[in-house]
Structure 1
Amino acid sequence: MASIACNPSVPAPGDTAELRERARGALLGLAVGDALGAPAENMKPSEIRARWGRVTGFVTDNPSGTDDTEYAIFSGLLLARHGSALTPAHVETAWHEWIADRAEGPFRGAGFSERGTLENLRRGLAAPISAQHRHAWSDGLAMRAAPFGVFAAGRPAEAARLVAIDGSVSHDGEGIYGGQAVAAGVAAAMAGAPTIAVVASALAVVPDDSWTARSLRRAVAVAHRGERAVRSAVVIGGYPWTDLAPEAVALAFGAYAAADGDFVQAVLTAVNMGRDADTTAAVAGALAGATQGEPAIPTEWASAIGPARGSCLPSMAGHHVLDVAELLTPGEGGKWGAGGCAPSELPARGEAPSPHSFALLTDTETEARP
């Protein structure tokens, strides 16, 4: 069985200006994908076609991000505070400080994994026991994983290590693997790796026999055949929830591979496949945004993204994804601080291979099963 190399070649990150452009592309791309995909969340492609034809842009008058964007900001600020010294205790403390011990407001749009985590934390359970709930396999970590790839640009293994620490409070098993795949993929894309190496970097950090790895291989193996093939390869038909990490992450990487890293096509492919469309489009947007940089994001899409509204996490209101991108990229001296920035410094302001090559380099299984 042919497979993508376990040790992909990832180039060294570029200069500070290039990294900054890619970082802004990754996190703004996440927010744009989230906002584009939100109206199509939990819908079937046939339902999307019946309502909008094909989604080619925002379908609401006042687009905004969901919990995907706000949790990505949350994790990004946490990472900016602690850097590579991040520990499970830091993460647990932040969940209490910024979410669990506050009046959370309406908390609209929160996923089951977040609800289960908060219930456990409020009962006094600590990580990793706090992650022992029924939805520890959800894509709730994958949706907030991109900042770790931005921070660890060119170091997929380090991105995977850090995101697993973040996820230890809320996720386990396949939920962790999904986050690691996304973080590693973004880290490779931040260094200018070609599309195929981005996928290989994601596969290299998760167990080869995991559900996540099998789904990801199936998705990219058929990516050259388009979104219907990708969806058929990984979607678990008849399952009532759309937030399965192995499924959502595979759909996102499939969209990214089908578009060969092109931002607009990757995001729109993810949106029009439906399912957990805000998350799949957010992840595809982060991967493609890191690959192509901020200029690849259409101005009309980028300009619609303002500071977080706090509709899910009131404590994140006023923070902008671009502020987080700035915090996670090298500063004047070209190096990140090992410990990140002090809490008081956290701001709040109003030629790549053809996707056809994946069919030759990946597992050709297409039956969607765990």
Structure 2
Amino acid sequence: MASTARIPSLPASAATPGRRERARGALLGLAVGDALGAPAENMKPSEIRAKWGRITGYVSERPAGTDDTEYAIFSGLLLARHGSALTPAHVEAAWHEWIADRAEGPFRGAGFSERGTLENLRRGLAAPISAQHRHAWSDGLAMRAAPHGVFAAGRPDEAARLAAVDGSVSHDGEGIYGGQAVAAGVAAAMAGAPVVAVVASALAVVPEDSWTARSLRRAVTAAHLGERAVRAAVVIGGYPWTDLAPEAVALAFGAYAAADGDFAQAVLTAVNMGRDADTTAAVAGALAGATQGVDAVPARWAAAIAPARGTCLPAMAGHHVLTIADLLTPETPS
């Protein structure tokens, strides 16, 4: 088991969150949303209600982050190592060093896009050819894109650029756009932008006529009507897989907008809409956590977030999201 000595202490409360507090809020919010949403993944709202009623907190005995949190840590460590100089070659090398060239955990790389990427890398294919698989449109980049927004706080265009570099190994098309939207939204929220500006920043970095942009616009337009309207506006009814980036990203932004940036309301809205609930709640949590800062994450939820177990990526075991947040927001000497 990872040592709790590696868990950094939470900062003191402040009226207006600083950059470090927003960074911690974003990545802790991601991990909390992931852990809250994991039991409801791939479920319909009616199935959630039948099993738990309305989810208002953790419903598992040992809540923990899934592949979403571990891949976000992966991207955070990659940014801490290379910063704005990040290249596709750096990303590809990290996939080999930390995942492809070592034994995987029980989740075996997790989602379809990750499995396809690993298979291609192990066959000797390089980026961007490594992203040519059947699930390049998945939300696998979106789930790990928040660290780019944390690193490029206040610079949505740069956050989106870095997300595209990161995603070049594993995603293409709408899969890239979803990651860029999340990265840009978090970057705007890190600078204290209001909810409407966070959404606008996300839309500004993706093609206007893309599936991602259309879904995102529909979601936030319906947000004032509540989660049922958001879900109806974007979910692809009858499609069996729930990891579509345009759908998941839109649901996350819709939950964030419906909650007007409130952390607890945003993540619970995302969780109770079902579908890819761990990812949608993770993204909503990252956006709201960056907006409100780490103190907005309820202490009872934050306390459950321990260092990563390495269930999916053994190389990430022992790393805590708060440590990653601190690495991406180094304090300047006074």
Same fold (TM over 0.5): yes
Counterpart in the other structure of 2:245: 245
Equivalent positions of 1:131-170 (< 5 A) are: 131-170=131-170
Residue by residue over 1:168-224, the C-alpha shift from the partner in whole angstroms, topping out at 9 and shown as x without a partner, is: 000000000000000000000000000000000000000000000000000000100
Q: Does residue 31 of structure 1 match 2:31?
A: yes
User: Normalising to structure 1: TM-score of the pair?
Assistant: 0.85
Alpha-carbon separation, structure 2, partners of 1:134 and 1:20? 38
Equivalent positions of 1:1-370 (< 5 A) are: 18-107=18-107, 110-333=110-333
In structure 2, what residue type is equivalent to 1:266?
A: A
Alpha-carbon separation, structure 1, partners of 2:100 and 2:293? 35
Deviation at 1:85, TM superposition (A): 0.2
| Structure with more of its chain in helix, by fraction | 2
Deviation at 1:106, TM superposition (A): 1.8
* Partner SS, residue 222 of structure 1: helix
Deviation at 1:108, TM superposition (A): 5.1
In structure 2, what residue type is equivalent to 1:134?
A: R
In structure 1, what residue type is equivalent to 2:215?
A: S
In structure 1, what residue type is equivalent to 2:83?
A: G
Question: Unaligned regions of 5+ residues in structure 2, if any?
Answer: 1-15
Question: Unaligned regions of 5+ residues in structure 1, if any?
Answer: 1-15, 335-370
Deviation at 1:331, TM superposition (A): 2.0
Partners of 1:27 and 1:286 within 8 A in 2? yes
Aligned residues: percent identity? 88
Alpha carbon RMSD of aligned pairs, Å?
1.3
Counterpart in the other structure of 1:5: none
User: Normalising to structure 2: TM-score of the pair?
Assistant: 0.94
* Partner SS, residue 18 of structure 2: helix
Alpha-carbon separation, structure 2, partners of 1:232 and 1:271? 15
Partners of 2:109 and 2:118 within 8 A in 1? no
Partners of 1:66 and 1:109 within 8 A in 2? no
Counterpart in the other structure of 1:344: none
Aligned residue pairs total 320
In structure 2, what residue type is equivalent to 1:167?
A: G
Residue by residue over 1:64-123, the C-alpha shift from the partner in whole angstroms, topping out at 9 and shown as x without a partner, is: 000000000000000000000000000000000000000113225700000000000000
Partners of 1:146 and 1:182 within 8 A in 2? yes
Counterpart in the other structure of 2:11: none
Alpha-carbon separation, structure 1, partners of 2:136 and 2:333? 39
